[in-house]
């Protein structure tokens, strides 16, 4: 953070596209895998195994984030995190991110500085750089849109898709479940604390390293839990043509969620089973003794085509659907 940011009080319209790009790219340090960083027509990133994993997610102000609920820095971190989680869910290690930003002309330049700081903070946490991007005005549109594309490398392994789960496999997860949903519920009631769950909504903490770790351990299928555990397991069940049962006795609901749910009169188990935006990883493994450290066994894969909880269909809304 600068004590006295240059361009204080300026808007993105004052700075112009090139002034802004200079501002957010200069003095950033790229890792070795960034063979050519921002400033040219395109970036060049190492793809050591001759393939590149690539994913895009779009975050829209008012839909995926609110600038009165999250700081621009948190929005930047989240935009990168949700994308890198997709890369990790293939069993790949991140190699870079590109950022497309559309914002209203009146946006303060300081907001972009903070957003860029967040993008870089999360990219750095994953060991990569912001290798390129685009910034543009939304014209008369007053909603900020952040589009991130993430790149990754499979290190010679096959990608772990959603389609490889087999009857007899064990279901396990790594990362938080229900925290972001609890935070969203808190924010929705007008509160700003407890900060643990609120920050979980603001900035997910996907377990990036757990993706390649699961791949090495022989995971047969894997998915990033973005829409909610049951909704995302349904994608695995559909792609793999299997049934998946989640056993709630295997899921320990964190005390923090129990406390928040009591205060709000909510069901913490519902958050854990259906809450999105935590970006945990869920994977299926053939060997119950081969579940990697840090992963928690929570269910089983059988023949059929359904996702059940303790052997029964789960009652209640199953996840987040855009537009609905």
Stretch that binds a second copy, among 149-157, 173-181, 198-206, 297-305 (CB under 8 A): 149-157
- Extract the tokens encoding 215: 């791949």
151 binds a second copy, rule: CB under 8 A: yes
Instruction: List the one residue from 10, 36, 121, 166 that touches a second copy (CB under 8 A).
Output: 36
β-bridge mates for residue 90, sequence order = none
145 binds a second copy, rule: CB under 8 A: yes
Cα–Cα distance measured from residue 97 to residue 84, given in angstroms and rounded to the nearest whole number: 8
Stretch that binds a second copy, among 146-154, 178-186, 267-275, 308-316 (CB under 8 A): 146-154
44 binds a second copy, rule: CB under 8 A: yes
252 binds a second copy, rule: CB under 8 A: no
55 binds a second copy, rule: CB under 8 A: yes
Cα–Cα distance measured from residue 83 to residue 131, given in angstroms and rounded to the nearest whole number: 14
- Extract the tokens encoding 30: 């790229």
Give the sign of the dihedral formed by CA 156, CA 162, CA 167, CA 169: positive
Instruction: List the one residue from 24, 70, 76, 96 that touches a second copy (CB under 8 A).
Output: 96
CB 183, min distance to a second copy, A? 19
Instruction: List the one residue from 112, 119, 126, 131 that touches a second copy (CB under 8 A).
Output: 131
Instruction: Give 181-241 as a DSSP string.
Output: HHHHHHHHTT----HHHHHHHHS----TTHHHHHHHTT-SEEEEESS-HHHHHHHHHHHHT
134 binds a second copy, rule: CB under 8 A: yes
**Site map 191..230 versus a second copy, x via CB under 8 A:** -------------------------------xxx------
Instruction: Give 237-278 as a DSSP string.
Output: HHHHT-EEEE-GGGPPPPHHHHHHHHHHT--HHHHHHH--SS
């Amino acid at each position: 953070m600068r004590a006295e940011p240059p361009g204080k009080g300026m808007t993105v319209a004052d700075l112009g596209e090139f002034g802004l790009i200079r501002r957010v790219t200069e003095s950033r340090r790229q890792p070795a895998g960034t063979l050519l960083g921002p400033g040219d027509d395109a970036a060049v990133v190492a793809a050591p195994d001759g393939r590149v994993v690539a994913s895009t997610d779009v975050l829209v102000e008012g839909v995926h984030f609110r600038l009165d609920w999250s700081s621009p820095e948190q929005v930047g971190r989240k935009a990168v995190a949700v994308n890198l989680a997709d890369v990790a869910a293939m069993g790949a290690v991140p190699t870079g991110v590109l950022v497309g930003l559309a914002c209203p002309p009146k946006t303060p330049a300081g907001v972009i500085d903070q957003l860029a700081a967040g993008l870089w903070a999360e990219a750095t946490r994953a060991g990569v750089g912001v290798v390129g991007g685009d910034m543009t005005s939304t014209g008369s549109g007053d909603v900020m849109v952040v589009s991130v594309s993430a790149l990754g490398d499979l290190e010679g392994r096959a990608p772990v898709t959603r389609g490889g789960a087999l009857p007899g496999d064990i279901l396990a997860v790594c990362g938080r479940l229900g925290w972001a949903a609890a935070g969203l519920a808190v924010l929705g009631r007008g509160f700003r604390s407890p900060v643990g769950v609120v920050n979980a909504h603001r900035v997910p903490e996907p377990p990036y390293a757990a993706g390649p770790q699961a791949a090495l351990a022989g995971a047969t299928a894997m998915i990033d839990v973005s829409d909610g555990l049951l909704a995302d397991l349904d994608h695995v069940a559909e792609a793999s043509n299997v049934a998946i049962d989640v056993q709630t006795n295997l899921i320990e609901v964190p005390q923090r969620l129990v406390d928040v749910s009591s205060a709000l009169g909510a069901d913490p188990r519902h958050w854990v089973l259906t809450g999105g935006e935590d970006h945990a990883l869920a994977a299926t493994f053939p060997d119950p003794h081969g579940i990697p450290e840090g992963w928690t066994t929570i269910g089983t894969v059988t023949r059929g085509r359904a996702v059940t909880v303790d052997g029964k269909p789960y009652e209640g809304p199953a996840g987040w659907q855009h537009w609905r």
